[in-house]
Structure 1
């Protein structure tokens, strides 16, 4: 286990994930796309990650968690003027059953623009304080739309709501021929974000 975490921490350092998070994770988050385990720093394609992954972690039934998934490299790693881009945000997850949580941002897979190189896509699992449900007043519930997803900051959100980072995983992806389909889907969406009061 110690050697595995050393590998995780090395991969985080080599890929400058500290640009996004300042904490040292305690565990590697188990993420599966199409039944296949994500190894930290895998290179995947937008085609492979277009649908929600399975995400697993050890938890007691009375514990509550928040799961964050974002891209700090929008539109490019060298010029992240739109990063971080919020791809998925699920809160008030009971134990390790994501289906019990509230999706504040519906899942949108990777969609890096053409000729922008590899983007990092980071999963962060956080424990909620006191095992209490949080009403995220002032945040928005985001449907499958690009609205209000750019220039977001995972660490600011974590600190604001006193969340405790527990586990992490990430992969890299660059443009493939699925991306125009994703953009078309986002462009066709008529749903609008709803603020939580």
Structure 2
């Protein structure tokens, strides 16, 4: 009898978060339990897809499932800053919103760190969106006017989750982006 655990169909389905090293570099292994959809303009985000930095310059449209009395935290980091070969700023925080009601989008939550789009300088960077379900309403600090990279550098998703009594993520997605050569840049 054949072992079903080693079937070709099973081998073909490997979690893209594992393949992209999001699980390991940013978060621990988890089971997604809340549907999350992310869209940059007309482009739906799928794990591991490439998004050109100009397309992701503005905050994405995000829809979080869940009940209205559920609360969520959404964050976005770049674990490859400033360079994938030497990620000395790991993780660079690009966005942080807390107290987002279930069934809503981040605009209904409290923005702690405003969105900043991808700005990769060298190599292909991963941009990771992680969603946590909160146990209770967070006392969010006032929005930070953190504009410089130094203020956003060395963020740690795991430490943030621990500090704010968040368990494992309930959803995560990531995309890749790289700097376009000056002669190839397009804003469409």
**TM-score of the two chains, using structure 1 as the length reference:** 0.78
Q: Secondary structure at the match of 2:15?
A: helix
> 1:12 aligned to 2:17?
yes
Hey, what does 2:116 align to over in structure 1?
108
CA RMSD of aligned residues (A): 2.1
Q: 1:10 to 1:23 in 2, by over 3 A?
A: closer
Hey, what does 1:183 align to over in structure 2?
none
Which runs of structure 2 are paired with 1:1-197 in the superposition (5 Å)?
7=13, 10-17=15-22, 18-27=24-33, 29-97=36-104, 98-113=106-121, 116-129=122-135, 132-136=136-140, 141-143=143-145, 145-146=147-148, 147-164=150-167, 165-176=169-180
What are structure 2's unaligned runs of at least 5 residues? 1-8, 183-188
Q: 1:102 to 1:177 in 2, by over 3 A?
A: farther
8 Å CA contact retained: 1:67, 1:126: yes
What are structure 1's unaligned runs of at least 5 residues? 179-197
Structure 1 residue 136 displacement after superposition: 4.1
Bigger Cα Rg: 2
Q: Secondary structure at the match of 2:152?
A: coil
**TM-score of the two chains, using structure 2 as the length reference:** 0.81
User: 2: CA distance between counterparts of 1:143 and 1:106?
Assistant: 8
Structure 1 residue 144 displacement after superposition: 5.6
Structure 1 residue 96 displacement after superposition: 3.1
Q: 1:94 to 1:71 in 2, by over 3 A?
A: same
Structure 1 residue 83 displacement after superposition: 1.4
User: 2: CA distance between counterparts of 1:118 and 1:142?
Assistant: 28
Q: 1:173 to 1:145 in 2, by over 3 A?
A: same
